[in-house]
Amino acid sequence: MRSSVIIFPGSNCDRDMDVALKKFGFKNQMVWHNDLSIPKSDLIVLPGGFSYGDYLRCGSIASKSKIIKSVIDFANSGGLVLGICNGFQILTETGLLKGILQQNKFLNFICSNVFVKVKDKQNKYFKDLKKDVLELHIAHNEGNYFCSDDELKSLEDNNQIAVTYCGDDGTENETTNPNGAIKNIAGIFNNNKNVLGMMPHPERMIDKYLSGEDGSLFFKNILDNFK
């Protein structure tokens, strides 16, 4: 499976993502934000970091960068686009995903392991995933997902909520919500479920010496579903 990771000025999880993708067998390439086209890919990843210094609003300047038109075209033609953390923020700014990411409820940056519940498996990311609850890692200041009532209803009606913050047993409530996100939302899909944005970083959880290994399941599952 061929993947491309876009590097924006200020991206800082680009290398980590490259390492993770290659570890599980993706043929990955790095693409510079000023390029106009993306090499032939089956998956495009917008990595975490502080694109353009998070100036103006997180992700907003990146959503107007040169490369982004190719990303939008690719997504609209059904290609898989994954945005992690700042990548998720960029996807909401482009309009590919609904809603916004506000500052965390307690106004602090949070770097911590979290559990997320996989809410939908009828998609190319989570289909046939063996687990329902994954232990992943978050590191963000603006991860507090918010959208209008209408948008929330349509996300729920179309099963577009991808993952929600929960306890290790899958309980979703206020205490298992690290950043105040509406309905504990940690990640969502677009209508066709080919675009996924989520705050947790699977690329930081890919071997037993790190914070955990559930990130490996995530990447392997994408590959398995592609075969």
Partner 1 sequence: MEVTEAVAVDHGLKKEEFSKICKLLKRIPNLTELAIFSAMWNEHCSYKSSRKHLKKMHTKGKQVIQGPGENAGVIDIGDDDAIVFKIESHNHPSFIEPYQGAATGVGGIMRDVFTMGARPIANLNSIHFGSPQHKKTRNLLRGVVKGIGGYGNCIGVPTIAGQTTFDESYNGNILVNAMTLGLVNKNKIFYSKAAGLDKPVIYVGSKTGRDGIHGASMASATFDDKIDEKKPTVQVGDPFTEKLLLEACLELMADNSIIAIQDMGAAGLTSSSVEMASKGNLGIELNLSKVPCREEKMTPYEIMLSESQERMLIVLEKGKEDHAKKIFDKWNLDFAVIGKTTNSKKIELIFDNKKVAEIPIDLLAENAPIYDRPWKKTKLPQKLNFDKDEFKSLKLSDCLKKILSNSNISDKKWIWDQYDHTVMGDTIQKPGGDAGVVRIHGTNKAVAASVDSSALYCFSHPLTGGKQIVCESYRNLISVGAKPIAITNCLNFGNPEKEKNMGEFVECVEGITEASKYLNFPVVSGNVSFYNETKDKGIKPTPTIGGVGLISDYQHMLTMEFKTEGNLVYVIGKTDGHLDQSIFARELLNEKKGPPPTVNLFNEKNIGETLLDLSRKNLIVSCHDVSLGGILTAISKMCIKGKKGIKINSLKGLTNKYEYFFGEDQARYIVEIPRASLKKVIEILNKYSVHFDDLGIIDGNSIKYNDDINLPIEELADAHKYWLKKYMDS
Q: Which one of 69-77, 91-99, 108-116, 155-163 is the stretch in contact with partner 1 (CB under 8 A)?
A: 108-116
> Is 53 a residue that touches partner 1 (CB under 8 A)?
yes
- 20 and 206 in contact (C-beta within 8 Å)? yes
C-beta of 225: minimal distance to partner 1 in Å? 24
Based on the residue annotation, tell me whether 203 is a catalytic residue of this protein.
yes
- 1 and 222 in contact (C-beta within 8 Å)? yes
Q: Is 88 helix (H, G, I), strand (E, B) or coil?
A: helix
- 44 and 79 in contact (C-beta within 8 Å)? yes
> Is 30 a residue that touches partner 1 (CB under 8 A)?
no
CA gyration radius, the chain: 16
d(CA 32, CA 73): 17
d(CA 33, CA 218): 26
> Is 10 a residue that touches partner 1 (CB under 8 A)?
yes
Cβ distance to partner 1 smaller for residue 11 or 190: 11
What type of residue is 106? Answer: F
> Is 49 a residue that touches partner 1 (CB under 8 A)?
yes
d(CA 71, CA 97): 13
Q: Which one of 66-74, 115-123, 183-191, 198-206 is the stretch in contact with partner 1 (CB under 8 A)?
A: 198-206
The binder of partner 1 chosen from 36, 40, 112, 169 (CB under 8 A): 112
Residue 166's Cα: distance from chain center in Å? 17
Closest among 10, 18, 107, 3 to 61, alpha carbons compared: 10
Instruction: Tokens for 95, please give them.
Output: 């309009």
- Active-site option among 13, 33, 58, 85: 85
Based on the residue annotation, tell me whether 33 is a catalytic residue of this protein.
no
> Is 46 a residue that touches partner 1 (CB under 8 A)?
no
Cβ distance to partner 1 smaller for residue 109 or 226: 109
> Is 137 a residue that touches partner 1 (CB under 8 A)?
yes
> Is 167 a residue that touches partner 1 (CB under 8 A)?
no
Q: Which one of 6-14, 120-128, 164-172, 181-189 is the stretch in contact with partner 1 (CB under 8 A)?
A: 6-14
Based on the residue annotation, tell me whether 85 is a catalytic residue of this protein.
yes
Instruction: Tokens for 119, please give them.
Output: 């809410």
For 5-23, the DSSP string reads: EEEPTTB-SHHHHHHHHHH
C-beta of 32: minimal distance to partner 1 in Å? 8
Return the active site residues: 85, 201, 203
Which residues of the chain form contacts with partner 1 (CB under 8 A)?
A: 9-10, 12-13, 15-16, 19-20, 48-50, 52-55, 108-112, 137, 139, 141, 201, 203-204, 206, 209-211
